[in-house]
């Protein structure tokens, strides 16, 4: 089951996107609705809220007066923390129950609609995070019309949420809702057709998303580090204590270096048995365990075995190398990365070589990778001398 975290600032149109995804076939779990359910009349949650904040937070019919409660907690951090301490545990339990039920029901795509996903640091819990945004004035106008807030109140409510920069850092997909409803629906439909549906199908089948057999070398992408950071967080959450460390390696980890659009991740574990088990579990991070045996070539020696997991997501190529701690390639991958970062002229030379090789004649990407050894071997020798000179440690 592909889990998608859906979020966005208040008034951005997130609920419209959730509704469209539901029409396309997703099961939507709405965090706001769950938060209402756990404090419904007669619930233990509502009783706890009344004990904490008094009878004044009750409406005449005995339900929670959300406006009255909001007035208490909006400008009082301690009160807000007290409320969150009551509601959030209840929401977590009910959310987990609904996720488990969806899994049991054979749901392919589950969308978790969470207004405060970024604020609560929940992004690593989903293989894909979709953020909906809209122009500030449009958001204010929607809030005024929908809730009766004044423009000043709407601005204050928006200002209390995550910033655009924080949301962008969490977003795998950014939907800018600045046109009409038809345009927004078309955007969501395209996302579903081109990314979400094939992603879910690949995960269900345990297969890697399709890739070409040619190496396409791109100019450096300034967004590669942010994409890698999200991936590292997801892998690290699944790996837990099994991982000694999780790192972004390879060409996309070196600023200014031309590269294939592939994020390489190294996960260091105790042994190959642990690596294989973890590779299976990485489906929870959107990766699939590649069948067969894999090993890193060693000049003049036996290859160093490893386990490989790759992306099910058709829009983000990933090679996740799970290596035992005693593999010599663990330190070499980190050393080459750090040496190239410290020597831009070497990185530039490597980039030129890759472009030349990619434009040449080779059977497949594996053969292209093998031909890079003309640079990698001597570069590692220079990197090791540099490491000794500067006292580098992994």
- pLDDT tens for 208-231 read 999 988 999 999 999 999 999 999
Tell me the chain's radius of gyration from C-alpha atoms. 25
Cα–Cα nearest to 260, from 148, 365, 373:
365
pTM score, two decimals? 0.93
pLDDT at 156: 87
Length of the chain: 394
Close Cβ partners of 206 (under 8 Å, ≥ 6 residues apart): 283, 288, 289
Whether residue 299 is predicted with pLDDT greater than 80 in this model: the reply is no
Q: Mutual orientation of helices 66-73 and 77-104 as an angle, nearest 10°?
A: 130
Q: Residue 25 forms beta bridges with which residues?
A: none
Whether residue 251 is predicted with pLDDT greater than 80 in this model: the reply is yes
pLDDT at 275: 98
Residue 373: band (very low, low, confident or very high) from pLDDT cuts 50, 70, 90? confident
Where is pLDDT greater, at 97 or 299?
A: 97
Q: Residue 324 forms beta bridges with which residues?
A: 269
Q: What are the residue ranges of helices labelled H in the chain?
A: 14-24, 31-37, 44-53, 66-73, 77-104, 136-147, 151-159, 164-170, 181-191, 197-205, 224-239, 272-281, 328-342, 344-359, 365-371, 373-390
Whether residue 276 is predicted with pLDDT greater than 90 in this model: the reply is yes
pLDDT at 357: 93
Whether residue 298 is predicted with pLDDT greater than 90 in this model: the reply is no
Read off the pLDDT of residues 164-194 as tens digits, 9 standing for 90 and up: 999 999 999 999 999 999 999 999 999 999 9
pLDDT at 312: 98
Read off the pLDDT of residues 347-372 as tens digits, 9 standing for 90 and up: 999 999 999 999 999 888 889 988 99
Q: How far apart are CA 12 and CA 143, in angstroms?
A: 10
pLDDT at 179: 94
Residue 200: band (very low, low, confident or very high) from pLDDT cuts 50, 70, 90? very high
Whether residue 300 is predicted with pLDDT greater than 80 in this model: the reply is no
Determine contact, residues 261/216, Cβ cutoff 8 Å.
Answer: yes
pLDDT at 147: 84
Average pLDDT, rounded, for the chain? 95
pLDDT at 119: 93
Residue 268: band (very low, low, confident or very high) from pLDDT cuts 50, 70, 90? very high
pLDDT at 366: 86
For the chain, list the domains and their CATH numbers. 2-205 (3.40.50.300), 224-390 (3.30.460.10)
Whether residue 43 is predicted with pLDDT greater than 80 in this model: the reply is yes
Joined together, the tokens standing for residue 109 give 């795509």
Close Cβ partners of 32 (under 8 Å, ≥ 6 residues apart): 113, 115
């Amino acid at each position: 089951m592909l889990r998608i975290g859906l979020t966005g600032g208040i008034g951005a149109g997130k609920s419209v996107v959730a509704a469209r995804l539901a029409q396309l076939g997703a099961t939507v779990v709405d965090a706001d609705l769950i938060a209402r359910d756990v404090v419904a009349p007669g619930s233990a949650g509502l009783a706890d809220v009344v004990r904490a904040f008094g009878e004044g937070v009750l409406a005449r019919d005995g339900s929670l007066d959300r406006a009255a409660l909001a007035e208490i907690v909006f400008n009082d951090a301690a009160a807000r923390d007290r409320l969150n301490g009551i509601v959030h545990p209840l929401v977590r339990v009910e959310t987990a129950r609904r996720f488990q039920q969806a899994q049991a029901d054979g749901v392919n795509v589950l969308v978790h609609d969470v207004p405060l996903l970024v604020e609560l640091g929940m992004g690593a819990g989903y293989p894909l995070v979709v953020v909906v945004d809209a122009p500030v004035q449009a958001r204010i106008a929607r809030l005024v019309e929908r809730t009766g807030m004044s423009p000043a109140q709407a601005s204050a409510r928006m200002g209390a949420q995550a910033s655009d920069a924080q949301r962008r850092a969490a977003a795998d997909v950014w939907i800018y809702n600045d046109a009409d409803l038809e345009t927004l629906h078309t955007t969501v439909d395209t996302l579903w057709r081109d990314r979400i549906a094939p992603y879910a199908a690949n995960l269900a089948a345990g297969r890697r998303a399709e890739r070409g057999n040619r190496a396409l070398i791109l100019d450096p992408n300034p967004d590669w580090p942010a994409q890698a950071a999200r991936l590292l967080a997801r892998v690290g959450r699944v790996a837990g204590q099994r991982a000694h460390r999780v790192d972004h390696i390879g060409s996309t980890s070196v600023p200014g270096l031309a590269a294939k659009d592939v994020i390489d991740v190294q996960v260091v574990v105790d042994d190959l048995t642990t690596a294989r088990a973890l590779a299976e579990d990485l489906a929870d991070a959107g990766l699939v365990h590649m069948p067969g045996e894999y090993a890193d070539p060693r000049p003049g020696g036996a290859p160093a075995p490893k386990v490989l997991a790759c992306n099910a997501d058709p829009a983000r190529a990933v090679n996740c190398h799970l290596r035992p701690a005693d593999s010599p390639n663990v330190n070499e991958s980190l050393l080459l990365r750090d040496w190239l970062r410290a020597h831009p002229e070497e990185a530039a030379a490597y980039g030129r070589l890759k472009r030349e090789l990619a434009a040449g004649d080779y059977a497949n990407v594996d053969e292209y990778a093998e031909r890079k050894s003309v640079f990698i071997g001597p570069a590692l020798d220079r990197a090791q001398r540099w490491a000794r000179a500067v006292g580098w440690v992994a």
